[in-house]
Structure 1
Amino acid sequence: MTVPDKRTAMLREGNVQKTLLALAIPSIIGMVVNGVYNIADTIFVGRISTSAIGAVSVVFPFFILIAAIGIAVGMGAASYISRSLGRDNKEEAEHTAATAVGMVMLMGVIFAVLGQYWLEPLLGMFGATETILPHAVAYAQALVIGSPIIMLKMTLNNILRAEGSAHASMTALVMGAVLNIILDPLLIFTFNMGVLGASVATVLSQVVAVGYQLWYFYSGRSYIRLSVAMFKPSKVIVTQIIKVGFPMFLTQCLNSVAMAMINTAAMPYGDSAVAALGIVKRVMSLGMFAVFGYGQGFQPFAGFSYGAKKFERLTEAIRFSVKVTTGFTVGLAVLLILFSELVISWFSNDPQVLQIGSHALMAYSIPFPLLGFQLVYFSLFQALGKAVPAGILSVSRQGLLLIPFVILLPRYIGLDGVIYAQPLADGLTVVMTLLLSVLINREIRREMDEHQRQEERELLQTKTAQKLT
């Protein structure tokens, strides 16, 4: 097939900046559209009541738990697939893809079964008040049942990006998002399903997206074959998936816990505070999705270059990626600060929601310009299989830093403490990223120098052998 050859040639020899953009732009579009339908969910549900918006905010940490499994397995597999393809080991990449699919489906079924029993207690822990809980249960039920499909979609998307099929990944995300936006008002209002309609729309859209992904693999358009016959789990493959995926799983779980704690901390200030902070999280997640999408395009390039020992291409990619993502985050932060009240008004006309939400949106936007630098290096650690630094950043931003802030700050400065906990944690995490970036850059430089010396020794040996003959 000529298409796979073009893909691997692009990763190995294509212009670095053009290749990165070719990989990243479809991922960015897919992730942003994905974020748009999350926001559309909130906008449509906002037409029901403030308590209904609060329900979406409360269920969001629960949805993150579902996503955590699919993303973790997918990114763990993607990292190893990229490095395997960089080493010209396609068979190993195919075994990894099949193993990842088997793992995520098993985890999804277990989650769906156990989630039905623990749903109400979990939502109570996530900050559901008495008025919010009925809406939250209705919204979460369909998500729990559909969790295996949601997880599978995320895993398959990462596998597609790892092999260089960024456009197919984008198509699946856009297809699901557009269908979700169409179904939302239809199910919520026309069929009078309320908040349950929003979650049913989400699950149905995920089913269609997974259908397209599977068709892409089994139609022969993908480079990597996906089949039951390739499902041969090995200790090496499973270890690599867990090693790289666990930091992301930890990140998402801590994110879920932290968001639940923020909801709980906001409860004493009423449904308006819970709803406002949920809206801000959704808005900021849209910007994060864009940067995260770039990181997903950057990761297979970085992993492939590292596996193929193309260190100069890797270092160029890092520098370019930091510049591009930082330019985007600075521009978006400025816009959000200038138009914070207008943005919140798209979701609710409740005066308290507007007041709390616009203040929180400005606060969250202050450290946002540094997010690009942070996520580029987080993606780099994952791509290179560096689980420890990736894990440190995961635990720091949403665990070691954010959770103590959420516990302590509200005691002294009330609702402002709830609002400023995340921005403070983000700022300090950037400092940690800076320190870790210095170490990984030195390590890449050492490996580059050693590789050059090895090539020089091999060249000298070849010339010596030619003279002797």
Structure 2
Amino acid sequence: MEQTKKLDMTKGNIDAQLLSFFFPILLGTFFQQLYNTADAVIVGQNVGKLGLAAVGGTTGTLINLFIGIFVGLSSGFSVIISQHFGAKNNRLVSECVHTSIMFSLIVGIIVSIFGAVFSKIMLLYMNVPENIMPMAIPYLQIYFLGLAPNLIYNMGAGLLRAVGDSKTPLIFLIISCFINIILDIILIRFLGMGVVGAAIATVTSQTVSAILVITVLSKREDALKLYIKRLHINFPELGKMISIGTAAGMQSAMYTIANILIQASINTLGTDTIAAFTAYGKIDTLFWMTIQSLGISVTTFTGQNFGYGNKDRVKKGIIHGMVLAIIITAIVIILLKLFGRTIYTLFTNDTSVLDIGTAMLNFMVFAFPAYITIEVFSGSLRGIGDSWIPMIITASGVCILRIAWVIIMVPRYPNIFTILWAYPLSWITTSILFIIYMFGLSKMKFWLKANIY
């Protein structure tokens, strides 16, 4: 039956399984990104570059900080569930499902209240220009108040993906994305509600996606079936899931904190640069959503096969994942290089913003390959439960280096390209550290060195 659809990755063609799992996640990530992208496009065309700067850039970075931490935590939940699923332990799968949803509800309420109360203070600390603040504050506050459904959806989608069902979350995202776009047009263009309308549209659509995922989980006929009355916290399983997920959550938080400093530096360069960087952040999502979708596929593949005890298949999955990542990244670079400026015109027709944004994009696209190793290696390590060392590597190579660069170099050479250099330098450094760890120190070093064919 459809509601019990799942994918057993412990046998069969590796490339076919990775891709069949990857594409629904990619499309799902695409539609999830369309939430804020639709806001940015419609606001930019109807409110102007001040509105564009308000709904992206700073507010987007702050939102990503909280959501990223939670999604990182939920990755630990998915790993444990995929391992239990691979080991055919239905009882523990069910325990983890109810614990996960209850945890999402509690965290969602707490973060919503905190974010709404401290929105203005956070924006002030990020050097947001005064002419943007009247739009940024209400947008951020409304977004935070509706954050709980977003967290519940992300957790529910992670549960489905842990057992190989990446198509159901995709369907829900498509539905909620179109709701968001329709509401954006109605509230912003026809009712003139500006950024407030964009926030309301996004929260409403996310609430729909949360309701859909809870409904489907409740109607399943397997270990993933959700009983609302049985929601509880299984603390031993929660401890295992958080143990893995905390590292990923901290990694995401450190990424975002480093990006907050970068955003704060960009905020000192004027509205045109802020607007250009906001649009760039939506455009380069084409790369991030593809490479991270592949990373999720590798994590799930690794988790199931590790739980099943098939180490040979785990290492084959890593190699196949790297090859696919290289091909995918090459395609994305070509597309963005050829059509980057044209895509920018979806957000704004301001010549100054277009010139700055196109220069950013042309600089960054050729740095993307430096990130491939980070995503595939860290995803495979999380799949076998090794998450703390990858977090430390990422903290050292990406976050600390990026923060040091912004603090030391940007004040001396205050321009956009000095800021952007923080990305490729940190990616190259972190990739080298991951290669050293994978082949020299991790528990998979002997697997990877062995002749697998």
**Into which bin does the TM-score normalised by the smaller protein fall?**
over 0.9
Which sections of structure 1, spanning at least 5 residues, go unmatched? 450-469
- Aligned equivalents of 2:73, 2:164: Cα separation in 1: 18
1:422 is aligned with what amino acid?
A: Y
1:11 is aligned with what amino acid?
A: M
1:145-160 map, 5 Å? 145-160=145-160
Q: Which moved more, 1:193-202 or 1:242-251?
A: 242-251
Which sections of structure 2, spanning at least 5 residues, go unmatched? none
The runs of 4+ residues in structure 1 deviating greater than 4 Å are 1-4, 228-232, 446-449
- Aligned equivalents of 2:321, 2:447: Cα separation in 1: 21
Q: 1:89 to 1:439 in 2, by over 3 A?
A: farther
Q: Which of 11, 14, 25 lines up with 1:13 in the alignment?
A: 11
Question: Do residues 424 (structure 1) and 425 (structure 2) align?
Answer: yes
Is this contact kept in 2: 1:20–1:298, CA < 8 A? yes
Is this contact kept in 1: 2:302–2:314, CA < 8 A? yes
Larger radius of gyration: 1
Deviation at 1:73, TM superposition (A): 3.1
Q: Which of 43, 46, 63 lines up with 1:45 in the alignment?
A: 43
1:54 is aligned with what amino acid?
A: A
- Aligned equivalents of 1:163, 1:369: Cα separation in 2: 30
1:245-260 map, 5 Å? 245-260=245-260
1:57-456 map, 5 Å? 57-220=57-220, 223-228=223-228, 230-396=230-396, 398-415=398-415, 416-439=417-440, 443=444, 445=446
Indicate the structure with greater helix content: 1
- Aligned equivalents of 2:442, 2:69: Cα separation in 1: 30
Deviation at 1:70, TM superposition (A): 3.3
Deviation at 1:322, TM superposition (A): 0.8
TM-score of the superposed pair, with normalisation by structure 1: 0.89
2:114 is aligned with what amino acid?
A: L
- Aligned equivalents of 1:359, 1:397: Cα separation in 2: 26
Is this contact kept in 2: 1:73–1:155, CA < 8 A? no
- CA deviations over 1:261-311 (Å, ceiling 9, x no partner): 222212232111111112212211232012211222222221010011112
Deviation at 1:359, TM superposition (A): 1.4
Is this contact kept in 1: 2:290–2:328, CA < 8 A? no
Deviation at 1:109, TM superposition (A): 0.7
Deviation at 1:372, TM superposition (A): 3.0
- Aligned equivalents of 2:181, 2:287: Cα separation in 1: 19
Deviation at 1:27, TM superposition (A): 0.7
- CA deviations over 1:199-231 (Å, ceiling 9, x no partner): 111111111111111111111256512224654
- Aligned equivalents of 1:303, 1:329: Cα separation in 2: 24
Is this contact kept in 2: 1:54–1:132, CA < 8 A? yes
RMSD: 2.3
Q: Which moved more, 1:88-97 or 1:338-347?
A: 338-347
Q: Which moved more, 1:361-370 or 1:71-80?
A: 361-370
- Aligned equivalents of 1:366, 1:40: Cα separation in 2: 26
- Aligned equivalents of 2:233, 2:268: Cα separation in 1: 49
- CA deviations over 1:338-365 (Å, ceiling 9, x no partner): 4443332332222221222111112221
Is this contact kept in 1: 2:67–2:151, CA < 8 A? yes
SS of 1:7's equivalent in the other structure is coil
- CA deviations over 1:383-441 (Å, ceiling 9, x no partner): 11112232124424542121111222212322121222223222222222222232477
TM-score of the superposed pair, with normalisation by structure 2: 0.92
Q: 1:386 to 1:125 in 2, by over 3 A?
A: same
- Aligned equivalents of 1:342, 1:429: Cα separation in 2: 32
Deviation at 1:54, TM superposition (A): 1.3
- Aligned equivalents of 2:294, 2:11: Cα separation in 1: 20
- CA deviations over 1:171-201 (Å, ceiling 9, x no partner): 1222222221222121111111101111111
Is this contact kept in 2: 1:54–1:271, CA < 8 A? yes
- Percent identity, aligned pairs only, is 22
Q: Which moved more, 1:143-152 or 1:18-27?
A: 18-27
Is this contact kept in 2: 1:74–1:157, CA < 8 A? no
Deviation at 1:154, TM superposition (A): 0.8
SS of 1:411's equivalent in the other structure is coil
Q: Which moved more, 1:277-286 or 1:314-323?
A: 277-286
Q: 1:74 to 1:323 in 2, by over 3 A?
A: same
- Aligned equivalents of 1:397, 1:94: Cα separation in 2: 38
Q: Which moved more, 1:231-240 or 1:242-251?
A: 231-240
SS of 1:153's equivalent in the other structure is helix
Q: 1:222 to 1:129 in 2, by over 3 A?
A: farther
1:36 is aligned with what amino acid?
A: L
Match of 1:35 in 2: 33
Q: 1:392 to 1:16 in 2, by over 3 A?
A: same
2:28 is aligned with what amino acid?
A: G
Is this contact kept in 2: 1:95–1:230, CA < 8 A? no
- CA deviations over 1:1-38 (Å, ceiling 9, x no partner): 7985x736x32223222222222211111012222343
Q: 1:98 to 1:348 in 2, by over 3 A?
A: same
Is this contact kept in 1: 2:65–2:253, CA < 8 A? yes
Q: 1:327 to 1:100 in 2, by over 3 A?
A: same
Q: 1:44 to 1:302 in 2, by over 3 A?
A: same
Q: 1:234 to 1:214 in 2, by over 3 A?
A: closer
- Aligned equivalents of 2:155, 2:316: Cα separation in 1: 28
- CA deviations over 1:62-101 (Å, ceiling 9, x no partner): 2113312431232111000011111221111111121121
1:288 is aligned with what amino acid?
A: W
